[in-house]
Chain A
Amino acid sequence: DAGVIQSPRHEVTEMGQEVTLRCKPISGHNSLFWYRQTMMRGLELLIYFNNNVPIDDSGMPEDRFSAKMPNASFSTLKIQPSEPRDSAVYFCASSYQPHGANEKLFFGSGTQLSVL
């Protein structure tokens, strides 16, 4: 099992540019989460998908952030336009939740985003 795969591992961009982060969840998992890690807030949940449908995007900070899951094996998180305060590590996680919660999450290695 390859685990959750995220790309790129590192992204450096200039303020105002569009940034796209990618995630391939573990095959067979039906739930996908995007988290952002910062020193002040720890791991913040940005958005949650179940069976490719966005269920909860209340953690998405602003309209500049958007996420899609066109199929069960791929998701993107886009920031447009990016700002320096978006600099953080972004994690994707997946799990199999057939009847609800209480299943552990499997995390990818993260994308370190730096917006200059």
Chain B
Amino acid sequence: DQQVKQNSPSLSVQEGRISILNCDYTNSMFDYFLWYKKYPAEGPTFLISISSIKDKNEDGRFTVFLNKSAKHLSLHIVPSQPGDSAVYFCAANGRGTYKYIFGTGTRLKVLA
């Protein structure tokens, strides 16, 4: 039972355009969400997070949007750069638990 789903295994975007990566979750107890970026042969690195008390969090070119009623979050990258090419994982965590559930990842390719 996949509680965190990333339904797009891959995405290609032109440099300078917006990249939108999506994530859906099923557990209404999740209250903290994170995005991680992973380059080949490296471990995932933290990118941005959002608490369920917010619906948007912004950090430079990266913005995460949370729609609690739809149990959906998205990561926007504007403008996209070739160095953003990587696998992006979303993760969710529930209040009072230490278990971070990750999605299967979306491979983003930014074309120069």
Q: A-side interface residues toward B, CB under 8 Å?
A: 4, 31, 33, 35, 39-45, 48, 50, 55-56, 91, 93, 97, 100-102, 104-110
Contact = CB atoms under 8 A, between A and B. Distances in A.
Interface of B: 2, 6, 31-32, 34, 36, 41-46, 49, 51, 89, 91, 93-105
A48 B105 contact: no
Q: List 9 tightest A-B contacts by C-beta distance, closest first.
A: A107-B43, A42-B104, A43-B102, A104-B46, A102-B32, A107-B44, A109-B43, A101-B93, A108-B43
A42 B102 contact: yes
B91 to A, nearest CB: 8
Given A41-B104, A42-B103, A102-B51, A56 B43 contact: no
A101 B94 contact: yes
B45 A107 contact: yes
A74 B98 CA distance: 19
A33 B100 contact: yes
A7 B87 CA distance: 23
A109 B46 CA distance: 13
Contacts of A109: 41-43
Nearest to A45: B99
A104 B49 contact: yes
Nearest to B105: A42
A105 B91 CA distance: 10
A31 to B, nearest CB: 6
